[in-house]
Amino acid sequence: MTNQPSLNLDEFSLTKGGLFFKLLVRMRLMRPDLAPTYRRAVVLALFAWLPLLILSAFQGLALGGSVRIPFLFDFPISVRLLLTLPLLLVAERVIDVRTQMVVKHFIQSRLVRKNDHSAFESSIQQILRMRNSPLAEGAIAGLVIFSTAFLRLEFSGTLSTWQFLVSSSGATRTLAGWWHVFVSIPIFQFLLYRWLWRYLIWCWFLWRASRLDLHLVPTHPDMAAGLGFLGLAQVKYGIIIFALSSLLSSQMGREILFGGASLANYRMTILGFVVLILIIFLGPLLVFSPKLFDTKKKGLLEYGALANEYTQSFERKWIRREAPEGEALIGSADIQSLADLGNSFEIVRKMRPAPFDLMTAILPMVATAAIPFLPLALTVFPFEEIIKKVIGMLL
């Protein structure tokens, strides 16, 4: 049995596969290594958004006219297509690099024991098959088509917008409205649902890894028996969190400006969203908690027994004066060894029940989810007042 699995982990990728991936490569919107990121992000974003601007302007619906919400004032649309959509594409390369590092680290750090290398390799191969599955992308496309055909063709509003013109004879969809429903939204939904599928694959991998007989060391300085790198990896999903949070914030902003709502109406929604984000992106790591509990329990017993043996020996030697004649306490390595043992036991005692902590995972995710909502404060407090308060606190 060799130390390394036969599968080349340098070739592992959560995103480099599938029919859509091959299509983008064939269209020269990217290379097989996912670079350059900006090319496909810019092209797809403009393909989804620019025709909406042109068609709205052609019908006089871009800046005003007789509609309640003109196109350029419907900023959730621009946020969705010019910010969220590109970020979903940029996230591919960012997250792909980190997930590859995680997979390799399981082997390189010897967390996976030799007799589990074949099971670990089998999990990786299954991930690659699921990633490349035409059935999965077909199901995603089918869901998008169903949403477009049966959920978005009806109009129940009473006011004209850049998408619908309402008259006494009924509502008529505008040219921009047709492009939005048949091109812009399907592109966005496909990219979003594809990321959902990828994340489910990643969660499945974490679960499979947690079933292995991992070599966990209770005295590891990351306070998670060597699994602390998983929390750091999950933080990279922050780019998707920021994208979704920005979209939600823009929709709330539209309701505040055009629907008569107030920021206070959305306090619990924002709080619930942040909590949900933590559950979705940190919750899967809790599959390792049973092993961490067992490792801590075993470590406390083992290091407790070692501490008993050493401290009893130390007591006999130095407290009861059974040290060899002529040996001095000052300069003896026994004191340093006692301190080192105490530090090791303290690490075991402070071991976390999950492979993430407040500072390196929870707070960064909360900040990433909350930052896009800060501009909504301008609907409550004037910008000048906010600046004065900030300067006053700093000075």
Q: Look at the block and give the residue holding tokens 């003109």.
A: 70
CB 366 within 8 A of CB 241: no
pLDDT digits (tens, 9 = 90+) for 106-159: 999 999 999 999 999 999 999 999 999 999 999 999 999 988 877 666 655 667
The pLDDT of 311-331, averaged and rounded, is 72
Confidence of residue 328 (pLDDT cuts 50, 70, 90): low
The pLDDT of 365-385, averaged and rounded, is 84
Highest mean pLDDT among 43-52, 167-176, 324-333: 43-52
- Please state, in angstroms and rounded to a whole number, the distance separating the CA atoms of residues 345 and 227: 18
Own/partner contacts of 160-167, CB < 8 Å, gap of 24 or more, are 160/66, 160/67, 160/68, 161/67, 161/68, 161/69, 161/70, 161/74, 162/52, 162/56, 162/61, 162/62, 162/67, 162/69, 162/70, 162/71, 162/74, 165/67
- Please state, in angstroms and rounded to a whole number, the distance separating the CA atoms of residues 151 and 143: 11
Phi, psi of 69 (to 5 degrees): -125, 100
CB 187 within 8 A of CB 44: yes
Give the rounded distance of the alpha carbon of 336 from its chain centre: 43
Q: What is the pLDDT of residue 2?
A: 45
Q: Enter the DSSP assignment of 169.
A: T
The more confident residue out of 379 and 94 is 94
Q: Taking CA 105 as the corner, what is the angle to CA 363 and CA 100, rounded to the nearest 5 degrees?
A: 80
Give the rounded distance of the alpha carbon of 147 from its chain centre: 25
**pLDDT for residue 10 is more than 90:** no
- Alpha-carbon dihedral sign for residues 83, 368, 69, 153: positive
Q: What is the pLDDT of residue 68?
A: 82
Instruction: Please indicate, yes or no, whether the overall pTM of this predicted structure exceeds 0.95.
Output: no
The more confident residue out of 294 and 9 is 294
Q: Look at the block and give the residue holding tokens 């024991």.
A: 113
Give the rounded distance of the alpha carbon of 160 from its chain centre: 38
Confidence of residue 389 (pLDDT cuts 50, 70, 90): low
Amino acid type, 155: F
